[in-house]
Amino acid sequence: MTSRSIPRVERLTVYPVKSLDGLPREQAEITTGGNLRLDREYAIVDRPAREAYDPDAASPHRDYINGKRTAMVHRLWSSFDPESHTVTVRTTEDLNEETFSLDATEEFNRWLSEYFGCPVSLRREPIGGHPDHPKRGVSGPSVISTATLQEVASWFDYLDIETVRHRFRANIEVSGVSAFWEDRLYADHGEAVAFRIGDVQFQGVEPCERCVVPTRDPDTGEERGDFRQRFIRKRRETRPEWLDSNRFDHDFRLRVITDVPESEIGEMIETGDRAEIVGTSPISRANSRHT
């Protein structure tokens, strides 16, 4: 087996502010919430900071200002500095950059409220972050292969692999495998696929159901009306013969959602780490953080 045929972590990306730009990492720690440290630690919500947040009464999807809700988030450019704990932002209409501290968010909240035209604020969840799929009870990092991104880019004459990365926003990208390798990381309902990255154990749960976000230009928010239909058609045409899971119930799915056992809290994964599938087992409290 050559080095090119060994599955390895090609890229690690976290998204410190949900729906804003990613931060490349050479290594990432598994938090007590099961996510990668810094990933979606902050989210923009449609309420002033002074308004109390009741997690039992609120709907996370209703509160978030994200790409599912408004294309305006695509016209924001951001850069996060983990050392100074600051975020630098600008818009596509105004190229003047401004930098804000995340230790005291009042100024950034005012800037965001002015941009979105309504009172918004940052909400921080240092443990577990703001996962894309809270109702499913999983918050682990998402996985996709480099070959999958290349394949999807080849379906559209206006896309390249970097743009596809921005549209699908995965945490872990694996090279040395064929397109749609990540579809091996989930099984039927009630089951999970155990796999390792380096020495860290993960459980693949399900393929990610896509929303409107991948259909839009990640820089302008402009939606291409042909994207969804063409994606579905090409996904169906290239569906691997071995893919036989009742979780894959339609073709507008890409990227795999994972869960992380409690035993892996505090462990590190790094670019270059080898990825290896272990096997399929029932999901239970005995082997997972969640049912």
CA distances from 185 to 19, 193, 264 (A): 25, 5, 18
Q: What is the pLDDT of residue 226?
A: 92
Q: Is residue 157 part of a domain?
A: yes
Q: Which residue carries 């999970």 as its tokens? A: 192
CB within 8 Å of 115: residues ≥ 6 apart: 72, 76, 91
Boundary (domain end) residue, out of 62, 97, 124? 124
pLDDT of residue 2: 43
For residues 192 and 215, membership in a common domain is answered with: yes
Q: Are residues 137 and 169 in the same domain?
A: yes
pLDDT at 47: 78
Q: Give the number of domains in the chain.
A: 2
Angle subtended at Cα 70 by Cα 64 and Cα 73, rounded to the nearest 5 degrees: 80
User: Residue 9 in contact with residue 270, Cβ under 8 Å?
Assistant: yes
Distance CA 184, CA 284 (A): 20
Residue 71 and residue 178 share a domain: no
Q: Is residue 147 part of a domain?
A: yes
**Secondary structure letter of residue 183 according to DSSP:** G
* Structural domain that includes position 28: 3-14+23-34+132-282
pLDDT value, residue 291: 37
- For residue 170, give the 3-state DSSP assignment: coil
Q: What is the pTM of this model?
A: 0.91
124: β partners: 42
**Do 149 and 8 share a domain, yes or no?**
yes
Q: What is the CATH number of the domain that holds 243?
A: 2.40.33
Domain end among 60, 91, 124: 124
CA pseudo-torsion sign 56, 288, 64, 30: positive
85 and 179 share one domain: no
Contact 270, 211 (CB under 8 A): no
Q: Are 14 and 23 in contact (CB under 8 A)?
A: yes
Which pLDDT score, from 0 to 100, does residue 143 have?
Answer: 98
> Are residues 203 and 140 in contact, defined by beta-carbon separation less than 8 angstroms?
yes
Both 172 and 264 in one domain: the answer is yes
Residues 155 and 68 in one domain: no
pLDDT average per 10 residues of sequence, the chain (291 residues): 75 97 98 95 83 48 83 96 97 92 95 96 91 71 98 97 96 98 96 97 95 92 92 97 94 96 96 97 57 37
Angle at 92 between CA 88 and CA 96, to 5 degrees: 50
* Boundary of a domain, candidates 72, 101, 124: 124
The answer as to whether 254 is a domain residue is yes
Residues 228 and 152 in one domain: yes
Residue 116 covered by a domain: yes
Q: Find, among 202, 228, 203, 204, the residue nearest to 215 by Cα.
A: 228
- Which one, of 184, 172, 167, lies nearest residue 245 by Cα? 184
Verify that 63 and 93 share a domain, yes or no: yes
In-domain check, residue 81: yes
Torsional sign, CA 98, 82, 54, 285: positive
Backbone angles phi, psi at 30, to 5 degrees: -80, 125
Whether residues 168 and 255 share a domain: the answer is yes
- H helices within the chain, ranges in order? 60-63, 106-116, 146-154, 161-168, 227-237
